[in-house]
Amino acid sequence: MGRSNRAPPTGKTPEPKKGQLTSSLRQFLVTPADLTTQPHCADSIMASEDSAPSSPASDLQTGGSERPPWLDRLRALPTKGDLHSATSELGATIRQDIQALRADLQGLTDRMSHVEAACDTLREAQNTLAEAAETS
């Protein structure tokens, strides 16, 4: 009937292993077709790193015999200038659309003021007719 000295669970999640982090990042850089053609891509990278120590920048500059499959996709990403011009064009388009909407809204406002003026005129005419009918 004694109490156990077991610590209550803290609710911490176990930290992922380094291999799991690499594989989760790899899914964004490597397509499924690349995975089927190169099933042991991580092992071959580790072997090449062990055999000849070199930096990734020097491999890319010398045009190594094997280019990583994600390199073309990385180079195809838009540059800062591309993004700046795209946002500028988008901003100009939005400003033009807003001007067109403002013009439409102004036209509707003018039409509504004409309708309200006509309603006021009709109400006044109705009131004068009602007053004339009461006096007679």
Report if pTM > 0.75.
Answer: no
CA distance 71 to 68: 5
Compute the distance between CA of residue 96 and CA of residue 104 in angstroms, rounded to an integer: 12
CB atoms within 10 A of CB 51: 8
pLDDT number for residue 85: 95
Q: If DSSP codes are grouped into helix, strand and coil, which group holds residue 40?
A: coil
Q: Give pLDDT < 50 ranges for the chain.
A: 41-53
- pLDDT of res. 108: 98
**DSSP symbol at 79:** -
Q: Using CA atoms, how far apart are residues 102 and 92, in angstroms rounded to an integer?
A: 15
